Amino acid sequence: MTTTDTRPEAPAATPRGPGWGSFLIGLLRGLWRQLTSMRTALVLLFLLAVASIPGSVLPQSNVAIEAVQQYYRDHPKLAPWIERVDGFDVFGSPWFAAIYLLLFTSLIGCVIPRLRDHYRAIRSVPPKVPARLDKLPQHLSVADHDGDVEQIAAALRKRRWRVVVRDDTVSAEKGYLKETGNLVFHFSLMAVLVAVALGSWYGWHGNRILVAGKDTSFCNSLQQYDEAKLGPRVDEGRLPPFCVTLDDFTASYQTSGQPKEFRASVTVEGDGPTRTADFSVNAPLRLDGASVYLLGHGYAPILRYTDRFGKTQTKEGPFLSEDEMQTSTGAISFPDANVDPATGRRDPSLQMGFDGIYLPTAPDQAPFVRSRFPAENNPALLLTAYRGNLGLDAGIPSSVYRLDQRQIDAGRLKPVGEGKLLKPGETWTLDDGSTVQFVGTKEYATLSVRHDPGQGIALVAAVLALGGLMGSLFGKRRRVFFRLTTPSPTSSSRLLEAGGLPRTDYPGFAEEFASTVAAVREKT
């Protein structure tokens, strides 16, 4: 008896497509291939060069904070927007770090496989001689050749060819320096990026304007710098201990006003035994764990103010240079002026501030707004006096090189009379009987104290990169082949066939091939 199965058949299984995991892995592989391609590396290198342009055009706060402050004064609307995109700290900005980290990753992905292939190529022997040497770009046949393959190989080795002998043939190869130099260049470029990262993480810097004199000095502490920045891996408590006193500063100029030489004489304490040292713009002061660079200089006018009660105070204030002729502007404040000695009462509305323009070489007649030469040939100080609340007790940060313009605009700090041009030693009597005397000036130096642990690595890498680039440009990969054959069994002479093949563009290969064959014939 036959039974029939009437149950419905199960539907055929539908093949599943790739899952999200496979899709994500494929996407990541594709992105990695794009990132590690040489084209992407070149694009990132170009972007790094373009991103460095703002760091060269705009003043950088870690190098010249005074120039950044001047930029704020000259472009009050544009400067805050530049600050938002880290335009005044380009090389420490997140977007610049992102570019060079991507470039670093791309170079690793490009260079490591090439290094592996190059290592295999160096260890491999030259290939076998082609069957048809006459098909090569360079070919030559020499009849009645008396030498053998060992003599040919010896002649080639003497000319620094890599040689292998197979039966009656000789294969030789030369020019691995090109690929070696290329790899050295790219590894050196990666070393530069490592040096930049080390300097960013473990480096620190500080800028300080230091007035010349035995009574003015600074120690290596963040609180004593005008501007300072530590890397994220630097502990403030482990900064190298030293103190620097600017004993003397000399500057010489050409007749055009261009600087000829700046030289600073300092006393260094805390960095071993107390010692004196001289350094200049291109010869920094080397300390244990830091280097002191001389960035510039200027003048610090000295004012002696005698208030209405007869109390005399003497202060000096660095004035910032405005042009190449050292026309300088600045301010000196006397917040403790006009204190009643009977009651000891300090009236904030009687504080004194002086805003001025210092001219190292003043013109003979008005307007007295620009110096004619950077040296002090005819010094003069155009001074404006202000009386009122200087705003120093408000707790709002303000520049020590300017009076608080907000206090002036609000009328809490008012000008006293007209501006006065003073020569060294001259005195100006104000409306309340108080006097201010322009005593003279001291020179100051703008110092940059820096520690960059990647500096030595960057120097070595730059030298290696230059050498690798030269090898990459001048190295030429090429091969030559030789075969000895007997034209007939009864012949006593042998036929020498030679062929040459340049592996890269090499316009001079024909001459080198001819000279190589001539050397082989001469030695054999």
pLDDT per position as a tens digit, 417-431: 778 899 999 999 998
Highest mean pLDDT among 179-193, 203-217, 438-452, 497-511: 438-452
Question: Residue 434 pLDDT > 80, yes or no?
Answer: yes
SS (HEC) of 208-224: EEEECCCCCEEECCHHH
Question: Residue 328 pLDDT > 90, yes or no?
Answer: yes
Residues 153-163: tens digit of each pLDDT: 999 999 889 89
How far is 311 from 307, CA to CA, in rounded Å? 6
β-partners of residue 136 are none
8-state DSSP, 344 = -
* φ/ψ (deg, to 5) at 169: -125, 155
How far is 183 from 416, CA to CA, in rounded Å? 71
Mean pLDDT for the stretch of residues 13-39: 74
How far is 338 from 341, CA to CA, in rounded Å? 9
- Among 33-42, 305-314, 329-338, the minimum mean pLDDT is found in 33-42
b (16+ CB within 10 A) / e for 448-486? bbbbbbbeebbeebeebbeebbebbeebbbbbbbbbbee
Fold of 126-175+476-523: TATA-Binding Protein (3.30.310)
β-partners of residue 217 are 245
How far is 406 from 226, CA to CA, in rounded Å? 22
Mean pLDDT of all residues belonging to the chain:
86
The pTM (predicted TM-score) of the whole model is 0.68
What are the structural domain ranges in the chain?
Answer: 24-116, 126-175+476-523, 204-451
pLDDT for the residue 1: 46
- Among 18-27, 83-92, 455-464, the minimum mean pLDDT is found in 18-27
Residue 268: band (very low, low, confident or very high) from pLDDT cuts 50, 70, 90? very high
pLDDT for the residue 423: 94
Q: What is the share, in percent, of the chain residues with pLDDT greater than 90?
A: 29
Mean pLDDT for the stretch of residues 237-254: 90
Mean pLDDT for the stretch of residues 493-504: 86
Residues 362-372: tens digit of each pLDDT: 998 888 889 99
How far is 66 from 209, CA to CA, in rounded Å? 10
Q: Residue 253 CB: number of other CB atoms within 10 A?
A: 17
